[in-house]
C-alpha cells in the first residue's frame, strides 16, 4: 500500500487497490489452509490498515465458495449475514460453489458448477447471499469463479452459473423504488452509532432523561392545524412481519435506522412509539446534540404509546392493557401526546373488548388531568383463521368511532386515528374530532396507500393528517 501510494503520487494517479481475500484454514486436500480465515480477523486487519495507517485503497474480497469452508471462532461455518460486518471494507465479491462431502472427489474449495450434484451452495444460499449484498448496498465488482470437472463443457457451466445468479437476483424483493433511489440502512445509521446506544445504556442511562429535558418542545401540538406522524410501536405487540418476512421489523438496527431517516425530515412532525424506541431516540439525539449543538428531536411531536398487551396471535389478544407509557411519564419526559388502541370484537372476545374499554377510559382520565392530547385508534375487528383482521366497511367503523369518542371524562383532548375505507365522507361526518389516517398493512408498493391518503384528506375538514408506520 505504501509503494502504491508513493508511485501514485509520482504519476499523479490514483493508487492501485490492494485486496485481501479470505480463505479457510483447513489443512486438508482441496482446502487452502491460509493465514486469514474468519471474517472477524480480516475485518480487524482491514480496519487497522485503513484507519490506523490511512490506506483507503486496501479492502477485502469475499468468495461465496469459501463461506461454508471458513469457520468462525465457535467452529461454525459463516453465513451470508457476515456481509453486514464486512460491508465497509468490501472491494470484490466472487460467486462460486464448493463441496463439503468428504467422500466426494472434489471435496473442498473446488469451484464446481452451481448444479454439481454434491455442491454445497444451494439455490437458497445463493439467494440469501445476493439478498445480503443488496441490503448492504454493495456496488463493487462481482466475479464468477468456476471450474469444469470431467466431461463438462465450459460454455455450459458458465451459462448455468449465469442462470443461477439471475434466478437469485430476480428473487430479491424490492418493495418499491422512487426513481433510482434505494434505502441502505448503514449509509444512514452506521453500526458504530448503533453500538453507542448500548454503551450509553450501560454507562449513562440517565442520559435519556437529560435529553428529554434538554430538547426544545413545541408550544402547540400542530403548527398549521395538520400532523404527519411516524408510527413505530408495532414490535411491542409481536407485530414484526413485512410482506413474506415474519421478522422484518425485528431487526432493531434496520428499524431504528429507518425511523431516524424519516424523523429527520423537516416536514415530518414527529413520532409515536413505545418507551424502548423513544429512549433510543433520546440517546441518539443526545449524541447529535453533543457533536453539533442541535437535536433532531427539537420541535418534534413525541407521542407515547400506552397499551401494548394485545399481543398478536395470543389467546387473550383482545385484553389490551396499559403496559407501556403512562400519563405521568409522558409529562415527566416532556412528551407531547399519548396514543391508545381500542379494538372491538362483537363476538368471540367481546368480554376482553369491554375490559380494554375500561383500561382506555382510565388512561384518558389520567391524561386529561395533565391536558395530554390522546390519539385513540378505534378499530372494529373480526377473528379469522389468520388472526384478527380489521373490518374495512364504513358502518362498522362509524359505530366504533362512536364508542371511542365517548371514552373518558372529557373528549377535549381526543384525536381519532382510523383507516381509509370506501364511503369515507360518511365516516368523517360521524365525529367532530380531528382525524389522523393510518396506513394499514404493508402491500409492497405505497402507491395505493398514498392514493387513499389523498382521497381521505379531501373527505372532510376534520381529517388533519396521517399517523402511519
Does residue 193 share a domain with residue 169? no
| Ramachandran sector of residue 30 (left: φ over 0; alpha: ψ -120 to 50; beta: rest) | left
Mean pLDDT of all residues in the chain?
A: 90
Does residue 325 share a domain with residue 264? yes
Going by C-alpha positions, the residue among 351, 338, 360, 340 that lies closest to residue 407 is 360
* Confidence grade of residue 32 (pLDDT, cut at 50, 70, 90): low
Q: Give the three cell numbers for residue 365.
A: 382520565
Q: What is the helix, strand, coil percentage profile of the chain, to 5?
A: 40, 15, 45
d(CA 338, CA 325): 8
* Confidence grade of residue 214 (pLDDT, cut at 50, 70, 90): very high
- In a 3-state reduction of DSSP, which class is residue 380? strand
Does residue 1 share a domain with residue 136? yes
Total domain count for the chain? 2
Does residue 232 share a domain with residue 131? no
What pLDDT, on the 0 to 100 scale, is given for residue 209? Answer: 97
Does residue 168 share a domain with residue 266? no
Does residue 227 share a domain with residue 85? no
Query: To which H or E segment does residue 229 belong?
Result: strand 227-232
Q: What are phi and psi of 37, to 5 degrees?
A: -120, -80
Does residue 241 share a domain with residue 101? no
What pLDDT, on the 0 to 100 scale, is given for residue 30? Answer: 60
Q: Among residues 143, 176, 209, which one ends one of the domains?
A: 176
Going by C-alpha positions, the residue among 183, 174, 316 that lies closest to residue 238 is 316
Q: Give the three cell numbers for residue 331.
A: 409529562
Does residue 209 share a domain with residue 165? no
Going by C-alpha positions, the residue among 281, 354, 348, 340 that lies closest to residue 306 is 340
d(CA 324, CA 305): 6
Q: Among residues 176, 209, 236, which one ends one of the domains?
A: 176
* Confidence grade of residue 442 (pLDDT, cut at 50, 70, 90): low
Q: Among residues 112, 141, 176, which one ends one of the domains?
A: 176
238-290: per-residue pLDDT in tens?
999 887 788 888 999 999 999 999 999 999 999 999 999 999 999 999 999 99
Question: CATH number, domain at 441?
Answer: 3.20.20.70
What pLDDT, on the 0 to 100 scale, is given for residue 224? Answer: 93
Question: CATH number, domain at 58?
Answer: 3.20.20.150
Owner of C-alpha cell 414527529 = 270
Predicted TM-score (pTM) above 0.75: no
Query: What is the DSSP secondary structure assignment for residue 401, as one 8-state letter?
Result: H
Q: 306, 326 in Cβ contact below 8 A?
A: yes
Does residue 222 share a domain with residue 99? no
Query: What is the DSSP secondary structure assignment for residue 441, as one 8-state letter?
Result: S
Does residue 104 share a domain with residue 223? no
What pLDDT, on the 0 to 100 scale, is given for residue 444? Answer: 59
Q: 396, 380 in Cβ contact below 8 A?
A: yes
Q: What mean pLDDT comes out for the span 343-359? A: 93
Does residue 171 share a domain with residue 200? no
Which structural domain, as residue segments, surrounds residue 457? 185-467
Does residue 385 share a domain with residue 363? yes
Amino acid at each position: 500500500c505504501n509503494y502504491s501510494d508513493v508511485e501514485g503520487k509520482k504519476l499523479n494517479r490514483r493508487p492501485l487497490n490492494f485486496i485481501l481475500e479470505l480463505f479457510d484454514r483447513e489443512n486438508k486436500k482441496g482446502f487452502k489452509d491460509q493465514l486469514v480465515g474468519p471474517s472477524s480477523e480480516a475485518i480487524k486487519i482491514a480496519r487497522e490498515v485503513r484507519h490506523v495507517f490511512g490506506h483507503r485503497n486496501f479492502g477485502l474480497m469475499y468468495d461465496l465458495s469459501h463461506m461454508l469452508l471458513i469457520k468462525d471462532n465457535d467452529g461454525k461455518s459463516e453465513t451470508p449475514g457476515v456481509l453486514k460486518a464486512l460491508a465497509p471494507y468490501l472491494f470484490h465479491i466472487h460467486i462460486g460453489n464448493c463441496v463439503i462431502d468428504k467422500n466426494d472427489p472434489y471435496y473442498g474449495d473446488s469451484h464446481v458448477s452451481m448444479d454439481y450434484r454434491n455442491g454445497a451452495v444451494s439455490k437458497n444460499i445463493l439467494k440469501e447471499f445476493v439478498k445480503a449484498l443488496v441490503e448492504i448496498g454493495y456496488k463493487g465488482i462481482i466475479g464468477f469463479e468456476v471450474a469444469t470437472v470431467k466431461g463438462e463443457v465450459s460454455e455450459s457451466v458458465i451459462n448455468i452459473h449465469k442462470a443461477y445468479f439471475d434466478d437469485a437476483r430476480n428473487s430479491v424483493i424490492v418493495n418499491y423504488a422512487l426513481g433510482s433511489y434505494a434505502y441502505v440502512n448503514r449509509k444512514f445509521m452506521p453500526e458504530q452509532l448503533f453500538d453507542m446506544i448500548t454503551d450509553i445504556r450501560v454507562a449513562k442511562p440517565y442520559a435519556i432523561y437529560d435529553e428529554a429535558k434538554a430538547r426544545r418542545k413545541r408550544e402547540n401540538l400542530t403548527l398549521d392545524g395538520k400532523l404527519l406522524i411516524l408510527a413505530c410501536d408495532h414490535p411491542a405487540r409481536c407485530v414484526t412481519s413485512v410482506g413474506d418476512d415474519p421478522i422484518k421489523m425485528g431487526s432493531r438496527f434496520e428499524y431504528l435506522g429507518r425511523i431516524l431517516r424519516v424523523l429527520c425530515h423537516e416536514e415530518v412532525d414527529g413520532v409515536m412509539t413505545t418507551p424502548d424506541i423513544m429512549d433510543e431516540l433520546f440517546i441518539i439525539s443526545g449524541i447529535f446534540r453533543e457533536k453539533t449543538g442541535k437535536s433532531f428531536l427539537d420541535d418534534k411531536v413525541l407521542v407515547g404509546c400506552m397499551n401494548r398487551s394485545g399481543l398478536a396471535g395470543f389467546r387473550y389478544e383482545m385484553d389490551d392493557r396499559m403496559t407501556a407509557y403512562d400519563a405521568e411519564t409522558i409529562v415527566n419526559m416532556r412528551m407531547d401526546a399519548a396514543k391508545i388502541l381500542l379494538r372491538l370484537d362483537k363476538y368471540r372476545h367481546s368480554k376482553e373488548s369491554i375490559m380494554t374499554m375500561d383500561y382506555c377510559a382510565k388512561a384518558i382520565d389520567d391524561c386529561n388531568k395533565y391536558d395530554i392530547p390522546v390519539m385513540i385508534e378505534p378499530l372494529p375487528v373480526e377473528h379469522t383463521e389468520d388472526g384478527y383482521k380489521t373490518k374495512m366497511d364504513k358502518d362498522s367503523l362509524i359505530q366504533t368511532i362512536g364508542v371511542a369518542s365517548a371514552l373518558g371524562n372529557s373528549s377535549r383532548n381526543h384525536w381519532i386515528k382510523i383507516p381509509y375505507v370506501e364511503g369515507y365522507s360518511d365516516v368523517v361526518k360521524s365525529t367532530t374530532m380531528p382525524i389522523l389516517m393510518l396506513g394499514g398493512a404493508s402491500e409492497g408498493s405505497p402507491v395505493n396507500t398514498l392514493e387513499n391518503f389523498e382521497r381521505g384528506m379531501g373527505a372532510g375538514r376534520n381529517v388533519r393528517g396521517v399517523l402511519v408506520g
